[in-house]
Amino acid sequence: DAGVIQSPRHEVTEMGQEVTLRCKPISGHNSLFWYRQTMMRGLELLIYFNNNVPIDDSGMPEDRFSAKMPNASFSTLKIQPSEPRDSAVYFCASSHLFPYYEQYFGPGTRLTVT
Amino acid sequence: GENVEQHPSTLSVQEGDSAVIKCTYSDSASNYFPWYKQELGKRPQLIIDIRSNVGEKKDQRIAVTLNKTAKHFSLHITETQPEDSAVYFCAAPDTGTASKLTFGTGTRLQVTL
């Protein structure tokens, strides 16, 4: 298996632009997680899906952030409009459901908003 | 939900020494405890995990111990090497969900020559 795939790996954009991050989970995994990592705030869970259904989006910082999972093999995280404080590394991870909690992370997308 | 605390936040050891990182959790129903290693600029990677039916698990130079009564678990690295330098995260499941893990805040381990 190729593991969790994320694209793009790096994104540089100007403030106010729309940013879309993409994730393909490991085949057969039922859960998908979006995390954000910064030096100041560490690793934060933004939202997660079970069986393509959003379960908990309480970590999404603002209405500017939205996430979708239209099918079992694809998810997007969108920021519109982007702001400099959104600069971070965004990780996608996937896992099976209970009792198999092992999460596997993608390589991350490094987002820089200028 | 689950609450996971991790200590220390930074740890410096000399090459060849042992390193121990400790985590506590709040949910007595938690039954799975993974450890992740994140090297600089890389993704967190699962290095070892333990389930609640055992008290200790080893894999070469790393081991994890679990004390369910006290609700804490620890990562032990023996004969540390420079390539062990990284940030280590512990985690525990939020048993109110079917998949969510709550992560500790991380320990930055520096192995010096």
Q: Which chain A residue shows the shortest CA-CA distance from B42? A: A107
d(CA B66, CA B46): 17
Residue B53 confidence (pLDDT): 82
Residue A47 confidence (pLDDT): 97
Q: Which chain A residue shows the shortest CA-CA distance from B52? A: A99
In the predicted structure, residue A1 carries a pLDDT above the cut 70? no
Q: Name chain B contacts of A97, Cβ cutoff 8 Å.
A: 98-99
Q: B97, A106: Cβ pair inside 8 Å?
A: no
CA distance A114 to chain B (A): 20
Q: Which of B37, B99, B101, B103 to mutate to test the interface with A (most CBs of A within 10 A)?
A: B99
CA distance A44 to chain B (A): 9
In the predicted structure, residue A5 carries a pLDDT above the cut 80? yes
- Once rounded to an integer, what is the mean pLDDT over residues B68-88? 97
In the predicted structure, residue B77 carries a pLDDT above the cut 90? yes
Residue A64 confidence (pLDDT): 96
Specify the 3-state DSSP secondary structure of B40.
coil
Q: B43, A103: Cβ pair inside 8 Å?
A: no
In the predicted structure, residue A92 carries a pLDDT above the cut 70? yes
- Once rounded to an integer, what is the mean pLDDT over residues A54-66? 94
d(CA B77, CA B74): 10
The shortest CB-CB distance from B99 to any of A31, A42, A91 is to A31
Q: A45, B43: Cβ pair inside 8 Å?
A: no
Sheet architecture: strand order including B4-7: B4-7, B19-25, B72-77, B62-67, B56-59
In the predicted structure, residue B20 carries a pLDDT above the cut 90? yes
Q: What is the pLDDT of residues A25-52, one digit of tens each?
A: 999 999 999 999 998 888 999 999 999 9
Mean confidence (pLDDT) of chain A: 95
CA distance B17 to chain A (A): 27
Q: A101, B101: Cβ pair inside 8 Å?
A: yes
Residue B54 confidence (pLDDT): 84
The shortest CB-CB distance from B103 to any of A43, A107, A108 is to A43
Q: What is the pLDDT of residues B39-53, one digit of tens each?
A: 999 999 999 999 988
Q: Name chain A contacts of B42, Cβ cutoff 8 Å.
A: 107
∠ at Cα B66 (B60, B71), nearest 5°? 155
Bond before B8 cis per omega within 30 degrees: yes
Residue A41 confidence (pLDDT): 87
In the predicted structure, residue B1 carries a pLDDT above the cut 70? yes
In the predicted structure, residue A14 carries a pLDDT above the cut 90? yes
CA atoms within 13 A on the CB side of A28: 5
Contact B89, B44 (CB under 8 A): yes
Mean confidence (pLDDT) of chain B: 95
Specify the 3-state DSSP secondary structure of A52.
coil
- Once rounded to an integer, what is the mean pLDDT over residues A9-28? 97
- Give the pair of three-digit tokens for residue A11: 């994104």
